[in-house]
């Protein structure tokens, strides 16, 4: 079964993914806010049915014990001050049955039941049911185990050691932008895309990420340094 390495996301990536995911899961449009003091609110819905707050905790290297301790110490008083009708927690840490029940008791009545506590496994399960959502978030899509495997299996086509070394490091830091999305659309429509511009505008980075995108969608990628006839020699 496919999965995602949520640890590859930045804090902001995770919040944006959670906004789109939980807007769908909860059936309500969620607001997202700029970075800064948030009073315990990462995502929020306010409407006739009351106020729902979603708190996103992107701590992929934390233990369950650390997560529970920090949530109770740092967030519980904020939740009580907010007095939201529903409080949902999304986190990149897995929780056992005992861990969920402990948090549910601590945050009652704002956390309605353990189903409002989403650990990494629950988030991944929800994402697997929403492939279109995953494809909208390039860094999330890139963290897919099947995508990573497809890229790794392209070794015989990536003849250049330079290209092999660059792909993983660029993928970890790349932030999709409008130019990247336009290039993807052009490739879909015309199967050809020429990236041009002055030095320093990340043309090579965009090309590398487009190659990664294509490899993840079952294309073979061949590096050509001089002439298209080089493809026949690979």
Residue ranges and CATH numbers for the domains of the chain are 6-134 (3.40.1350), 144-233 (no CATH)
Q: Dump pLDDT digits (tens) for 8-19.
A: 888 888 999 999
Question: For residue 220, is pLDDT > 90?
Answer: no
Query: For a pLDDT cut of 70, what percent of the chain falls above it?
Result: 85
- Kindly report the pTM of this predicted structure: 0.74
Determine the Cα angle at 178 with ends 127 and 43, to 5°. Answer: 45
Neighbours of 108 (CB within 10 A): 11
Q: Dump pLDDT digits (tens) for 121-132.
A: 999 999 999 988
Q: Dump pLDDT digits (tens) for 77-129.
A: 999 998 889 999 999 999 899 999 999 999 999 999 999 999 999 999 999 99
* Residue-level pLDDT at 25: 95
* Residue-level pLDDT at 36: 62
Provide the b/e sequence for 10-38 (b: ≥16 CB within 10 Å).
eeebbbbbbbbbbbebbebebebeeeeee
* Residue-level pLDDT at 1: 42
* Residue-level pLDDT at 72: 94
Q: Which helix (H) or strand (E) holds 17?
A: helix 11-26
């Amino acid at each position: 079964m496919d999965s995602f390495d949520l640890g590859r996301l930045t804090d902001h990536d995770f919040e944006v993914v959670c906004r789109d995911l939980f807007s769908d899961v909860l059936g309500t449009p969620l607001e997202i806010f700029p970075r800064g003091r948030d009073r315990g609110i990462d995502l929020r819905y306010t409407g006739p049915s009351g106020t729902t707050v979603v708190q996103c905790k992107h701590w992929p290297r934390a233990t369950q014990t650390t997560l529970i301790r920090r949530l109770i110490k740092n967030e519980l008083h904020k939740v009580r001050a907010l007095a939201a009708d529903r409080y949902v927690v999304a986190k990149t840490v897995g929780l056992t049955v005992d861990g969920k029940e402990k948090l549910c008791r601590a945050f009652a009545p704002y956390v309605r039941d353990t189903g409002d506590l989403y650990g990494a496994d629950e988030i991944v399960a929800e994402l697997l049911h929403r492939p279109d959502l995953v494809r909208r978030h390039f860094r999330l899509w890139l963290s897919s185990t099947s995508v990573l495997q497809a890229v790794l299996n392209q070794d015989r086509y990536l003849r250049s050691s330079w290209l092999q070394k660059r792909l993983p490091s660029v993928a970890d830091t790349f932030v999709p932008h409008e130019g990247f999305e336009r290039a993807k659309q052009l490739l879909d429509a015309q199967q050809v895309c020429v990236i041009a511009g002055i030095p320093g505008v990340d043309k090579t980075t965009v090309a590398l990420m487009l190659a990664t995108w294509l490899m993840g969608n079952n294309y073979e990628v061949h590096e050509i340094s001089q002439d298209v006839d080089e493809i026949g020699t690979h």
